[in-house]
Amino acid sequence: MPESPFDEDSTAEEVTADIDLSGKLAVITGCTSGIGFETMRVLAARGAYVVGTSRSLERAESACHKVRGLCTPIALELADPESVVQCAEHVRSLKTPIDILVCNAGVRGGGNQPVLVNGIERHFAVNHLGHFLLVNRLLERLYLAWQGRIVVVASRTAYRDAPDNGIDFDRLDGSGRYRDREAYGQSKLANVLFAYELGKRLRGTRITANALHPGVIDTDIDRNLNPALRFGFRILASVSGKTVEQGAATSCFVATHPSLGATSGKYFEDCNAVRIADNPHMQNDALAERLWDVSAETMASHMVELRRPDWSEFENGLRRPGENREPIDSEQAGNE
């Protein structure tokens, strides 16, 4: 694919200049700080109606208040499947197609003793499984958009720090030798493989799914690192890192740029799709399929069965007039 006109210095405002998002709905997880807040701010400034999530409704409200534009705060704890379901139901109650879903929220660090969430290691549970379930519960609304985009904020730690075998399915409970750096890398590889597999499963639809590395940015993501690592991360971010405005650029570019309407299953860095040729896992079909199956099995009791809309009912994105068909579900009747 052609090189984009943007690079590591581009900001979220620059990559969205001239893009009008009026009438579009964007959902962003983890809107209260860092990259998620800047992504929400810029998408709202371009006219999108934004739903921003946080574990704390108060924090989400406060973040939304700081943004010029239309924002709705919703509570979401990605570690809790019930919270994910409730968040998705809240979004669905807006009765609006979803144009952009940015899976941005994330957790990193915590020490070399695993923290378990429902028996699953926390990085994997929050960064991957929570978003896996959220996408499942919201996908139907992305189908209804003119061109839905799923953007998964991963990290280059996916190919730098993940275990040698990519995803260590036998140790998702954190058993055996545990290092939080490796666990974070594994969860970010899961982010990349999820977008890759989604890209394949959504072929033939108008929904795209892509993953990205935002850059190294001094945000609250280091809050769980030990003081030495925190210091090191801050030095690295100040020497070779990006500002938050630059850090949100790749998310905003992948979420909105007209040149990417048919680009799916890719991994981006610095506003360009890149292929990490010397890594065996980043585009590994068997690993991505297995990750999908294991994730679906783990979240089975909270997932919904997905049906593709019958496009023969639509003409230019609108249901054909005068045809007496049942809506896809009762709630969607309000969208017609």
Ligand X SMILES: NC(=O)c1ccc[n+]([C@@H]2O[C@H](COP(=O)([O-])OP(=O)(O)OC[C@H]3O[C@@H](n4cnc5c(N)ncnc54)[C@H](OP(=O)(O)O)[C@@H]3O)[C@@H](O)[C@H]2O)c1
Question: 170-174: which pairs have CB atoms within 8 A and are 24 or more residues apart?
Answer: 171/121, 172/120, 172/121, 172/124, 172/294, 173/114, 173/116, 173/119, 173/120, 173/121, 174/114, 174/115, 174/116, 174/121
Interface pick for ligand X out of 12, 26, 48, 79 (rule CB under 6 A) = 79
Contacts of 184 (CB under 8 A, 6+ apart): 108, 109, 123, 127, 155, 157, 161
Residue 77 DSSP one-character state: -
- 129-147 exposure pattern, b = at least 16 Cβ within 10 A, e = fewer: bbbbbbbbbbbbbbbbbeb
Residue 195 within binding range of ligand X, rule CB under 6 A: no
Confirm or reject binding of residue 78 to ligand X (CB under 6 A). yes
Q: Is 77 in the site for ligand X (CB under 6 A)?
A: yes
User: Is there binding between residue 189 and ligand X (CB under 6 A)?
Assistant: no
Interface of this chain with ligand X, residues 111 to 170, rule: CB under 6 A: 126, 153, 155
Q: Are 131 and 86 in contact (CB under 8 A)?
A: no
Is residue 143 part of the annotated active site? The answer reads no
Q: How many CA atoms lie within 13 A of 160 on its CB side?
A: 7
CB nearer to ligand X: give 24 or 123.
Answer: 123
Binding flag, residue 107, ligand X (CB under 6 A)? yes
In the set 49, 143, 159, 178, the catalytic residue is: 178
Which residue is listed with tokens 């995803």?
A: 167
**Closest CB to ligand X among residues 160, 203:** 160
**Judged by CB under 6 A, which of 56, 147, 226, 243 binds ligand X?**
56
250 binds ligand X (CB under 6 A): no
The count of residues in the chain is: 336
CA distances from 46 to 17, 37, 142, 152, 303 (A): 8, 14, 20, 20, 33
Q: Which stretch binds ligand X (CB under 6 A): 13-21, 53-61, 224-232, 318-326?
A: 53-61
Interface residue with ligand X, options 11, 32, 186, 210 (CB under 6 A)? 32
Among 219, 246, 250, 264, which residue interacts with ligand X (rule: CB under 6 A)?
219
Q: For residues 84 and 144, which CB has a smaller minimum distance to ligand X in the complex? A: 84
104 is a contact residue toward ligand X (CB under 6 A): yes
Question: Using the rule CB under 6 A, is 214 a contact of ligand X?
Answer: yes
Q: Do 197 and 220 contact (CB within 8 A), yes or no? A: no
| Among 4, 11, 16, 54, contact with ligand X (rule: CB under 6 A) | 54
Q: How far is the CB of 148 from ligand X (least distance, A)?
A: 20
Interacting residues toward ligand X by CB under 6 A: 29-36, 54-56, 59, 76-79, 104-108, 126, 153, 155, 213-214, 216-217, 219-221
Please list the active-site residues.
178
